[in-house]
Chains A and B, each alone.
Chain A
Amino acid sequence: MNCQDAWLLILERSVSGKTGSEGYELEEHLETCSACRKLAGAHGAVLSDYSGLRRLEADPVFYEKVQLKLKSTRRVHSGLLLPLRDYRNIGSTLAGLAAAVILGIWIGGLLTGGNELPGNFTATAVSADQGGEITDDNTLARLENYFFDENH
């Protein structure tokens, strides 16, 4: 067995706890190779360190600790003016309200014809563009009477 195979088996052993049929070969290799022995030792040290910390029995007061944390985080929530979720709700309500107002103004404008141009708007603009010349006969006659009639 070469070192590369041995390393894989050492890692395998730490993953699954087994080395299968090659376990014996690995042990033989470890007896002769100091580098692989070191790696196997390091693995063993990590695993034994870990198993020392590992909890094997349930903590009888763990539930109380969770409850305490649950209550303390709830208190933080109630300490705010409103929970974040409510702020989110207010935001979406305001956005909806604004959209409704804009829609209302637009529909209202359509119904009352507020956006349409007056019928004679174009004609008025065109006549104003003709240099202010008055072409209506009745209007001219009235103006002549006003300015030149001595009886006035």
Chain B
Amino acid sequence: MTDSECIQGLIDGNEEAARWLVDNHQLRVFNICLGFLRNKHDAEDIAQDVFVEVIRNAASFRGDAKVSTWLHRIAVNRSLNYIRSSKRRRLWLELNPFSGNSAGDAAGIPVAGGNDLLEQEDLKHGLECAIDSLPQNQRIAFTLSKLEDLSYQEIAGVMNLSLPAVESLIHRAKMNLQKRLKKFFA
């Protein structure tokens, strides 16, 4: 089945087209969501939402990119939206004195210390925080490249940027990570 046949099938309400789309793209979409969310259940939930959105809005697909690019773009956007809404929730829990919840552990890069195992955990957490604190475009490019093995060309398609722009984003992401991690290791 080609992309255009699949989209036409979705518009016509063809179940075979929907199944083809989900079966062929679920792994990539799930893993992209996982790269951003780092939580299996959240990634599963968001990946399902991505397919629901695509099946519902197949008619709005303009056909100027591949279906996979469209799916990946929605997966990235939905994951980032989810992170933003979780951050708001976390902030509310922090501010709410009656919630009894402390979620401040992810607020900043932690300070290394203690025994080796703890230090390793702190380092891991520090690295994740450093990636999370990158500017959004750098973070998307870095995550798609690092965790998803998407080629620079594919990332350019997902982010609607030129190839040199993606290369520059990833280079700046590495520089920024280095800068942020320097504080951690100092």
Interface residues, chain A, CB within 8 Å of chain B? Answer: 4, 7-8, 11-12, 14-17, 35, 38-39, 41-43, 45-46, 49-50, 53-59, 62-63, 65-67, 69-70, 73
B8 interfacial contact with A, CB 8 Å? no
Q: Indicate if B157 sits at the interface (CB-CB under 8 A).
A: no
Any A CB within 8 A of the CB of B52: yes
A42 touching B27, Cβ below 8 Å: no
User: Once the chains are docked, how many angstroms separate the CA of A42 from the CA of B128?
Assistant: 10
A11 with B174: CB separation less than 8 A: yes
B34 / chain A contacts, CB cutoff of 8 Å: 50, 53-55
**CB-based contact A42/B124 at 8 Å:** yes
Complex: A70 Cα to B18 Cα, angstroms: 11
CB 8 Å contact bits of B124-140 with A (1 = contact, 0 = none):
10111000000000000
- Tell me which residues across on chain A come within 8 A of B44, comparing CB atoms: 65
A42 CB → nearest B CB, Å: 4
How many A-B contacts at CB < 8 Å in the complex?
A: 90
Is the pair B170, A15 in contact by a Cβ cutoff of 8 Å? yes
Judging by beta carbons under 8 Å apart, are A8 and B178 in contact?
yes
In the complex, chain B residues whose CB is within 8 Å of the CB of A73: 52
Please pick, from B124, B126, B185, the residue contacting A49 in the complex, using a CB distance under 8 A.
B124
Instruction: Establish whether residues B51 and A42, one from each chain, have CB atoms under 8 Å apart when the complex forms.
Output: no
- B177 and A11 within 8 A (CB): yes
Please give me the 6 A-B residue pairs with the lowest Cβ-Cβ distance, nearest first: A42-B123, A63-B22, A11-B174, A45-B124, A66-B51, A15-B146
Main secondary structure of the interface of B (DSSP, over half): helix
B26 CB contacts on chain A under 8 angstroms: 58-59, 62-63
B55 contacts the other chain (CB 8 A): yes
| Contact (Cβ within 8 A) A50 B177 | no
* B interface, size bucket: 35 or more
When distances are taken between beta carbons in the complex, the residues of chain B under 8 Å from A58 are 23, 26-27
**B66 interface residue per 8 A CB criterion:** no
| Cβ B123 vs Cβ A50 within 8 A | no
Asked whether B87 is an interface residue with its Cβ less than 8 Å from the other chain, the reply is no
A4 to B179 Cα, complex, angstroms: 10
Report 7 cross-chain contacts, Cβ distance below 8 Å, ordered by A residue. Answer: A15-B174, A38-B112, A38-B120, A38-B185, A42-B126, A55-B30, A58-B26
Interface presence of B181 (CB below 8 A): yes
CB distance from B15 to the nearest CB of A (A): 8
Residue B31 at the chain A interface, CB threshold 8 Å: yes
Q: Is the CB of A41 within 8 A of B123?
A: yes
**Of the residues B19, B47, B55, B128, contact of A46 by C-beta under 8 Å:** B128
> How far in angstroms is the closest Cβ of chain A from B33?
10
> Whole-angstrom distance between the alpha carbons of A45 and B31 in the complex?
18
Chain A residues in 8 Å Cβ range of B38: 49-50, 53
